[in-house]
Amino acid sequence: MKALVTGAAGFIGSHVAAWLLRDGMDVVALDDLSGGARENVPAAARWTPGSVTDYALLGDLFAREKFDYVYHLAAYAAEGLSHFIRRYNYETNLMGSVNLINLSVLHHVKCFVFTSSIAVYGANQLPMTEAMTPHPEDPYGVSKYAVELDLAAARRQFGLNYIVFRPHNVYGERQNIGDKYRNVVGIFMNQILRGEPLTIFGDGEQTRAFSYIDDVAPVIARSVWNEAAYGEAFNVGGGTAVHRQRIGRDCM
Ligand SMILES: NC(=O)c1ccc[n+]([C@@H]2O[C@H](COP(=O)([O-])OP(=O)(O)OC[C@H]3O[C@@H](n4cnc5c(N)ncnc54)[C@H](O)[C@@H]3O)[C@@H](O)[C@H]2O)c1
Protein backbone atom coordinates (compact mmCIF):
# COMPACT_ATOMS: atom_id res chain seq x y z
CA MET A 1 0.00 0.00 0.00
CA LYS A 2 1.20 3.49 -0.84
CA ALA A 3 0.46 6.76 0.96
CA LEU A 4 1.05 10.43 0.26
CA VAL A 5 1.76 12.40 3.44
CA THR A 6 1.63 16.19 3.01
CA GLY A 7 3.33 18.29 5.66
CA ALA A 8 5.71 15.38 6.29
CA ALA A 9 8.56 17.75 7.19
CA GLY A 10 6.41 19.23 9.94
CA PHE A 11 5.63 18.05 13.45
CA ILE A 12 2.58 15.77 13.24
CA GLY A 13 3.16 14.83 9.59
CA SER A 14 6.67 13.52 10.25
CA HIS A 15 5.36 11.31 13.06
CA VAL A 16 2.41 10.05 10.98
CA ALA A 17 4.85 9.21 8.16
CA ALA A 18 7.07 7.33 10.64
CA TRP A 19 4.12 5.28 11.95
CA LEU A 20 3.02 4.42 8.41
CA LEU A 21 6.54 3.25 7.53
CA ARG A 22 6.64 1.20 10.73
CA ASP A 23 3.43 -0.50 9.55
CA GLY A 24 4.97 -1.33 6.16
CA MET A 25 3.43 1.42 4.03
CA ASP A 26 5.32 2.94 1.09
CA VAL A 27 5.37 6.67 1.93
CA VAL A 28 5.83 9.67 -0.34
CA ALA A 29 6.59 12.74 1.79
CA LEU A 30 5.55 16.11 0.33
CA ASP A 31 6.36 19.45 1.94
CA ASP A 32 7.36 22.94 0.78
CA LEU A 33 9.49 23.50 3.92
CA SER A 34 7.69 26.78 4.66
CA GLY A 35 7.24 25.65 8.26
CA GLY A 36 9.02 22.31 8.50
CA ALA A 37 12.55 21.00 8.15
CA ARG A 38 13.96 18.45 5.70
CA GLU A 39 15.65 16.53 8.56
CA ASN A 40 12.23 15.85 10.12
CA VAL A 41 11.26 13.60 7.20
CA PRO A 42 11.86 9.92 8.04
CA ALA A 43 14.78 8.54 6.02
CA ALA A 44 12.71 5.66 4.61
CA ALA A 45 10.11 8.00 3.10
CA ARG A 46 10.48 9.16 -0.49
CA TRP A 47 11.09 12.92 -0.21
CA THR A 48 9.23 15.14 -2.69
CA PRO A 49 9.68 18.90 -2.25
CA GLY A 50 6.67 20.91 -3.41
CA SER A 51 3.59 22.88 -2.46
CA VAL A 52 0.02 21.65 -2.17
CA THR A 53 -0.90 24.82 -4.08
CA ASP A 54 1.02 23.59 -7.16
CA TYR A 55 -1.72 21.71 -9.01
CA ALA A 56 0.50 20.73 -11.96
CA LEU A 57 3.10 19.17 -9.64
CA LEU A 58 0.40 17.34 -7.69
CA GLY A 59 -1.25 16.13 -10.90
CA ASP A 60 2.01 14.56 -12.10
CA LEU A 61 2.64 13.04 -8.68
CA PHE A 62 -0.81 11.42 -8.42
CA ALA A 63 -0.65 10.10 -12.00
CA ARG A 64 2.79 8.58 -11.38
CA GLU A 65 2.33 7.16 -7.90
CA LYS A 66 -1.29 5.92 -7.81
CA PHE A 67 -1.70 6.48 -4.08
CA ASP A 68 -3.96 4.23 -2.04
CA TYR A 69 -4.20 6.76 0.80
CA VAL A 70 -3.67 10.48 1.24
CA TYR A 71 -2.81 11.93 4.66
CA HIS A 72 -3.16 15.69 4.33
CA LEU A 73 -1.40 17.50 7.18
CA ALA A 74 0.22 20.42 5.34
CA ALA A 75 -1.09 23.78 6.54
CA TYR A 76 -0.03 27.06 8.02
CA ALA A 77 -1.61 26.58 11.41
CA ALA A 78 -1.21 30.03 12.99
CA GLU A 79 -4.83 30.52 13.96
CA GLY A 80 -4.53 33.97 15.56
CA LEU A 81 -2.53 35.30 12.64
CA SER A 82 -4.98 34.04 10.04
CA HIS A 83 -7.07 37.25 10.15
CA PHE A 84 -4.05 39.15 8.86
CA ILE A 85 -2.94 36.66 6.19
CA ARG A 86 -6.36 35.93 4.74
CA ARG A 87 -5.37 35.13 1.17
CA TYR A 88 -2.35 33.09 2.20
CA ASN A 89 -4.48 31.19 4.71
CA TYR A 90 -7.15 30.30 2.16
CA GLU A 91 -4.70 29.58 -0.66
CA THR A 92 -2.68 27.19 1.49
CA ASN A 93 -5.23 25.70 3.86
CA LEU A 94 -8.33 25.68 1.64
CA MET A 95 -7.25 25.65 -2.02
CA GLY A 96 -4.26 23.40 -1.28
CA SER A 97 -6.70 20.93 0.28
CA VAL A 98 -9.19 21.23 -2.60
CA ASN A 99 -6.38 20.42 -5.05
CA LEU A 100 -5.68 17.19 -3.16
CA ILE A 101 -9.37 16.28 -2.84
CA ASN A 102 -9.89 16.79 -6.58
CA LEU A 103 -6.96 14.55 -7.47
CA SER A 104 -8.00 11.95 -4.89
CA VAL A 105 -11.39 11.70 -6.59
CA LEU A 106 -9.82 11.52 -10.06
CA HIS A 107 -7.32 8.82 -9.04
CA HIS A 108 -9.69 6.73 -6.87
CA VAL A 109 -7.82 7.15 -3.57
CA LYS A 110 -9.20 4.65 -1.03
CA CYS A 111 -9.31 7.10 1.88
CA PHE A 112 -8.36 10.75 2.44
CA VAL A 113 -7.29 11.58 6.01
CA PHE A 114 -7.44 15.25 6.93
CA THR A 115 -6.20 17.05 10.03
CA SER A 116 -8.75 19.72 10.77
CA SER A 117 -8.72 21.50 14.15
CA ILE A 118 -10.88 22.25 17.17
CA ALA A 119 -10.78 25.80 15.71
CA VAL A 120 -13.87 24.72 13.74
CA TYR A 121 -15.98 24.86 16.92
CA GLY A 122 -15.54 28.60 17.53
CA ALA A 123 -15.82 30.37 20.88
CA ASN A 124 -17.89 29.38 23.91
CA GLN A 125 -18.64 25.88 22.70
CA LEU A 126 -17.51 23.89 25.73
CA PRO A 127 -16.99 21.04 26.11
CA MET A 128 -16.30 20.57 22.40
CA THR A 129 -17.93 17.40 21.12
CA GLU A 130 -18.34 16.00 17.64
CA ALA A 131 -22.13 16.25 18.00
CA MET A 132 -21.94 20.06 17.87
CA THR A 133 -22.44 22.09 14.72
CA PRO A 134 -19.18 23.95 14.09
CA HIS A 135 -19.20 27.77 14.08
CA PRO A 136 -15.64 28.76 13.19
CA GLU A 137 -14.85 32.40 13.91
CA ASP A 138 -11.52 33.05 12.20
CA PRO A 139 -10.12 32.38 8.71
CA TYR A 140 -8.08 29.40 9.90
CA GLY A 141 -11.15 27.71 11.41
CA VAL A 142 -13.30 28.67 8.40
CA SER A 143 -10.78 27.10 6.02
CA LYS A 144 -10.62 23.89 8.08
CA TYR A 145 -14.40 23.59 8.23
CA ALA A 146 -14.76 24.39 4.52
CA VAL A 147 -12.43 21.47 3.77
CA GLU A 148 -14.50 19.19 6.03
CA LEU A 149 -17.66 20.22 4.13
CA ASP A 150 -15.96 19.73 0.77
CA LEU A 151 -14.86 16.25 1.79
CA ALA A 152 -18.45 15.41 2.73
CA ALA A 153 -19.61 16.73 -0.66
CA ALA A 154 -16.94 14.70 -2.48
CA ARG A 155 -18.06 11.58 -0.64
CA ARG A 156 -21.73 12.16 -1.45
CA GLN A 157 -21.06 12.99 -5.10
CA PHE A 158 -18.11 10.74 -5.96
CA GLY A 159 -17.80 8.21 -3.13
CA LEU A 160 -14.46 9.55 -1.82
CA ASN A 161 -13.88 8.00 1.60
CA TYR A 162 -12.40 10.31 4.20
CA ILE A 163 -11.68 10.63 7.90
CA VAL A 164 -11.36 14.00 9.65
CA PHE A 165 -9.33 14.48 12.82
CA ARG A 166 -9.57 17.57 14.99
CA PRO A 167 -6.43 17.65 17.15
CA HIS A 168 -5.68 20.27 19.79
CA ASN A 169 -2.47 21.40 21.50
CA VAL A 170 -0.29 18.48 20.46
CA TYR A 171 3.23 18.53 21.90
CA GLY A 172 6.39 16.46 21.54
CA GLU A 173 9.58 15.89 19.60
CA ARG A 174 10.00 17.93 16.40
CA GLN A 175 7.36 20.46 17.46
CA ASN A 176 7.91 23.94 16.01
CA ILE A 177 8.72 26.18 18.99
CA GLY A 178 10.07 29.04 16.88
CA ASP A 179 6.72 30.45 15.69
CA LYS A 180 5.14 32.79 18.25
CA TYR A 181 1.74 32.45 16.59
CA ARG A 182 1.54 28.69 17.19
CA ASN A 183 0.44 26.51 20.07
CA VAL A 184 0.99 27.49 23.67
CA VAL A 185 3.44 24.73 24.70
CA GLY A 186 5.88 25.81 21.96
CA ILE A 187 5.42 29.49 22.82
CA PHE A 188 6.07 28.85 26.53
CA MET A 189 9.09 26.64 25.82
CA ASN A 190 10.58 29.31 23.57
CA GLN A 191 10.04 32.01 26.20
CA ILE A 192 11.58 29.85 28.93
CA LEU A 193 14.64 29.12 26.77
CA ARG A 194 15.05 32.87 26.21
CA GLY A 195 14.55 33.65 29.91
CA GLU A 196 11.45 35.73 29.10
CA PRO A 197 8.21 35.84 31.16
CA LEU A 198 5.37 33.63 29.92
CA THR A 199 2.70 35.54 28.00
CA ILE A 200 -0.70 34.96 29.61
CA PHE A 201 -3.81 36.26 27.86
CA GLY A 202 -6.82 37.69 29.71
CA ASP A 203 -7.28 36.86 33.38
CA GLY A 204 -5.20 33.70 33.13
CA GLU A 205 -8.08 31.54 34.33
CA GLN A 206 -8.38 29.68 31.02
CA THR A 207 -7.56 26.00 30.79
CA ARG A 208 -6.26 23.81 27.98
CA ALA A 209 -6.00 20.08 27.34
CA PHE A 210 -2.76 18.75 25.83
CA SER A 211 -1.94 15.69 23.77
CA TYR A 212 1.38 13.89 23.42
CA ILE A 213 2.34 13.21 19.81
CA ASP A 214 2.68 9.43 20.27
CA ASP A 215 -0.92 9.30 21.51
CA VAL A 216 -2.13 11.12 18.39
CA ALA A 217 0.07 10.14 15.40
CA PRO A 218 -0.60 6.37 15.45
CA VAL A 219 -4.35 6.97 15.71
CA ILE A 220 -4.21 9.13 12.58
CA ALA A 221 -1.87 6.74 10.73
CA ARG A 222 -3.87 3.58 11.46
CA SER A 223 -7.34 5.10 11.03
CA VAL A 224 -7.70 3.99 7.41
CA TRP A 225 -7.94 0.32 8.44
CA ASN A 226 -11.21 1.06 10.22
CA GLU A 227 -13.80 1.49 7.50
CA ALA A 228 -16.48 2.24 10.11
CA ALA A 229 -14.68 5.57 10.60
CA TYR A 230 -15.06 6.62 6.96
CA GLY A 231 -17.10 9.79 6.56
CA GLU A 232 -16.68 10.75 10.24
CA ALA A 233 -14.94 13.55 12.14
CA PHE A 234 -13.16 12.86 15.44
CA ASN A 235 -11.68 15.02 18.15
CA VAL A 236 -8.32 13.40 18.92
CA GLY A 237 -6.20 14.04 22.00
CA GLY A 238 -6.19 14.47 25.75
CA GLY A 239 -9.37 15.47 27.51
CA THR A 240 -7.99 16.64 30.86
CA ALA A 241 -8.14 20.40 31.41
CA VAL A 242 -4.89 21.92 32.69
CA HIS A 243 -4.86 25.31 34.42
CA ARG A 244 -2.30 27.84 33.14
CA GLN A 245 -0.56 28.08 36.54
CA ARG A 246 0.14 24.36 36.41
CA ILE A 247 1.31 24.67 32.80
CA GLY A 248 3.72 27.42 33.82
CA ARG A 249 5.00 25.48 36.85
CA ASP A 250 5.49 22.25 34.88
CA CYS A 251 7.32 24.10 32.12
CA MET A 252 9.70 25.61 34.66
N1 LIG B 1 -0.06 20.87 16.36
C2 LIG B 1 -1.32 20.98 16.82
O3 LIG B 1 -1.55 21.03 18.02
C4 LIG B 1 -2.47 21.00 15.84
C5 LIG B 1 -3.75 21.25 16.34
C6 LIG B 1 -4.83 21.26 15.44
C7 LIG B 1 -4.64 21.01 14.11
N8 LIG B 1 -3.37 20.79 13.64
C9 LIG B 1 -3.22 20.54 12.20
O10 LIG B 1 -2.37 19.43 12.02
C11 LIG B 1 -1.58 19.62 10.84
C12 LIG B 1 -0.11 19.50 11.17
O13 LIG B 1 0.22 20.51 12.14
P14 LIG B 1 1.68 20.62 12.75
O15 LIG B 1 1.54 21.07 14.16
O16 LIG B 1 2.44 19.39 12.46
O17 LIG B 1 2.25 21.86 11.92
P18 LIG B 1 3.71 22.04 11.25
O19 LIG B 1 3.82 23.49 10.87
O20 LIG B 1 4.76 21.46 12.12
O21 LIG B 1 3.59 21.16 9.94
C22 LIG B 1 2.93 21.63 8.79
C23 LIG B 1 3.82 21.35 7.60
O24 LIG B 1 3.12 21.77 6.43
C25 LIG B 1 4.08 22.33 5.55
N26 LIG B 1 3.39 23.22 4.61
C27 LIG B 1 2.80 24.41 4.87
N28 LIG B 1 2.29 24.92 3.74
C29 LIG B 1 2.55 24.02 2.76
C30 LIG B 1 2.28 23.98 1.36
N31 LIG B 1 1.62 24.97 0.74
N32 LIG B 1 2.66 22.89 0.66
C33 LIG B 1 3.35 21.86 1.27
N34 LIG B 1 3.65 21.86 2.58
C35 LIG B 1 3.26 22.93 3.31
C36 LIG B 1 5.06 23.07 6.44
O37 LIG B 1 6.32 23.28 5.81
C38 LIG B 1 5.15 22.12 7.63
O39 LIG B 1 6.23 21.23 7.48
C40 LIG B 1 -1.99 20.98 10.27
O41 LIG B 1 -2.97 20.77 9.27
C42 LIG B 1 -2.60 21.69 11.45
O43 LIG B 1 -3.56 22.64 11.02
C44 LIG B 1 -2.30 20.79 14.47
Distance 246 CA to ligand 1 centre (A): 27
- pLDDT score of 250 more than 50: no
Mean pLDDT, all residues of the chain: 93
Q: How far apart are CA 4 and CA 58, in angstroms?
A: 11
CA distances from 8 to 31, 38, 92, 147, 239 (A): 6, 9, 15, 19, 26
Residue 252: the pLDDT is: 38
For 23-81, write each residue's pLDDT tens digit.
999 999 999 999 999 999 999 999 999 999 999 999 999 999 999 999 999 999 999 89
Report the pLDDT averaged over residues 126-140.
Answer: 92
Residue 34: the pLDDT is: 96
Distance 134 CA to ligand 1 centre (A): 21
Distance 74 CA to ligand 1 centre (A): 4
- pLDDT score of 2 more than 50: yes
117 lines ligand 1 (CB under 6 A): yes
Residue 238: the pLDDT is: 82
- pLDDT score of 108 more than 90: yes
Residue 223: the pLDDT is: 98
Cis peptide before 127 (omega within 30 of 0): yes
The pLDDT > 90 percentage for the chain reads 78
Residue 197: the pLDDT is: 92
For 159-208, write each residue's pLDDT tens digit.
999 999 999 999 999 999 888 888 888 889 999 999 999 988 888 887 88
C-alpha 153 chain-centroid distance: 20
168 lines ligand 1 (CB under 6 A): yes
- pLDDT score of 251 more than 50: no
For the domain 2-170+211-239, what is the CATH code? 3.40.50.720
- pLDDT score of 11 more than 80: yes
Length of the chain, please? 252
User: Is residue 39 packed enough to be buried (19+ CB in 10 Å), middle (13-18) or exposed (0-12)?
Assistant: exposed
Q: What is the dihedral of CA 233, 237, 6, 114, to 10 degrees?
A: 0
pTM for the model: 0.95
140 is a catalytic site residue? yes
Report the pLDDT averaged over residues 208-235.
Answer: 96
Residue 227: the pLDDT is: 97
Q: Which residue is closest in CA terms to ligand 1's atom 18?
A: 10
Residue 49: the pLDDT is: 98
- Boundaries of every domain in the chain: 2-170+211-239
Residue 155: the pLDDT is: 98
**Residue 170: strand, helix, or coil:** strand
Q: Which atom of ligand 1 is nearest to the CA of 119?
A: 6
Task: Catalytic residue, from 69, 71, 121, 140: name it.
Answer: 140
Residue 206: the pLDDT is: 79
Contact assessment for residue 134 and residue 122, using Cβ atoms and an 8 Å cutoff: yes
190 lines ligand 1 (CB under 6 A): no
Q: Which atom of ligand 1 is nearest to the CA of 140?
A: 43
Residue 245: the pLDDT is: 52
Confidence bin at 123 (pLDDT 50/70/90) = confident
Q: Which residue is closest in CA terms to ligand 1's atom 28?
A: 75
CA distances from 184 to 3, 52, 63, 96 (A): 31, 27, 40, 26
